[in-house]
Amino acid sequence: MRKVGIMGGTFDPIHYAHLIAAQSAMEFAALDEVWFIPTSSPPLKPNAPLATEEQRLAMVNLAIQGEPRFRGLDIELNRGGTSYSIDTIMELRAMYPMHQFHYIIGSDRIHDLPRWHRAQELIQLVGFIGLNRPSEPLELDQLPTQWQSKLTIAPMPLIEISSTELRKRVKAGKALRYYVPDEVESYIRRHRLYE
């Protein structure tokens, strides 16, 4: 049996906090691998991503190259439409019956977990590894008890980097260096993303 963490996200663009979150979850929960899965259409976000699906996946693959335990998956892009996690988990469980999956999420997403599509079924299929995020600090007591019992909190240095802030930085002509891997910055500049 392999323990696999699922790092789902819009990744518009992927940044260092995503990578540190994945590494923290991997260390804490003794995961064998983390699979990064870019969404097609993110369920609870008001705006559509700015970069294309191909560009977001390309940036994920550039960011994780060199870490053999990290892998980028196009399963949600191939399925298209709204990327509900229940569909992804069911598909992955059917494809990899010997794997045990854990969903990795930041505190902003932890708070809206009960509003996820078919949340009651999802909770039966997968455990969650949560990471604190300074913009929306963890408030576990706000979460129904049945969710609290399915959630493990992994320690991670608080890092207030968001893709929204990075898109604003590009628009304002500011540097991305030290916020994203160099290869991701080069890709963003080459494709003139977020300008």
Ligand X SMILES: O=C(O)c1ccc[n+]([C@@H]2O[C@H](COP(=O)([O-])O)[C@@H](O)[C@H]2O)c1
- Say if CB 14 and CB 60 are below 8 A apart: yes
Query: Quick one: which of 23, 24, 83, 107 contacts ligand X (CB under 6 A)?
Result: 83
Query: Do 129 and 25 form a contact (C-beta atoms < 8 A)?
Result: yes
Token pair listed for 18? 């995503």
Please tell me whether residue 108 binds ligand ATP under the rule CB under 6 A: yes
Q: Which of 27, 32, 43, 142 binds ligand X (CB under 6 A)?
A: 43
| Least Cβ distance, residue 153 to ligand ATP (angstroms) | 12
Check binding of 35 to ligand ATP (CB under 6 A): no
55 binds, among ligand ATP, ligand X, none (CB under 5 to 8 A by kind): none
Residues 90-129 that bind ligand X (CB under 6 A): 109, 116-117
**Site size toward ligand ATP, by CB under 6 A:** 18
Interface with ligand X by CB under 6 A: which range of 2-10, 61-69, 92-100, 171-179?
A: 2-10
Looking at this protein, which amino acid is placed at residue 12?
D
Write out the binding residues for ligand ATP, residues 153-182 only, by CB under 6 A: 159, 161-164
Residue 139 has a CB neighbour count (10 Å cut-off) of 10
Q: How far is the CB of 1 from ligand X (least distance, A)?
A: 23
Order of strands, sheet of 127-131, starting from the edge strand that comes earlier in the sequence = 70-72, 33-38, 2-9, 99-106, 127-131, 151-153
Distance CA 143, CA 159 (A): 23
Tokens for 79, please give them. 């399925």
Task: Give the Cα separation of 190 and 165 in Å (integer).
Answer: 20
Q: Does 102 bind ligand ATP (CB under 6 A)?
A: no
Residue with tokens 């906090």: 17
CB of 100 to ligand ATP, least distance (A): 19
Distance in angstroms (rounded) separating the CA atoms of residues 31 and 190? 34
Residue ranges in contact with ligand ATP by CB under 6 A: 9-12, 17-18, 21, 105-106, 108-109, 131, 133, 159, 161-164
Residue ranges in contact with ligand X by CB under 6 A: 8-10, 39, 42-45, 83-86, 109, 116-117
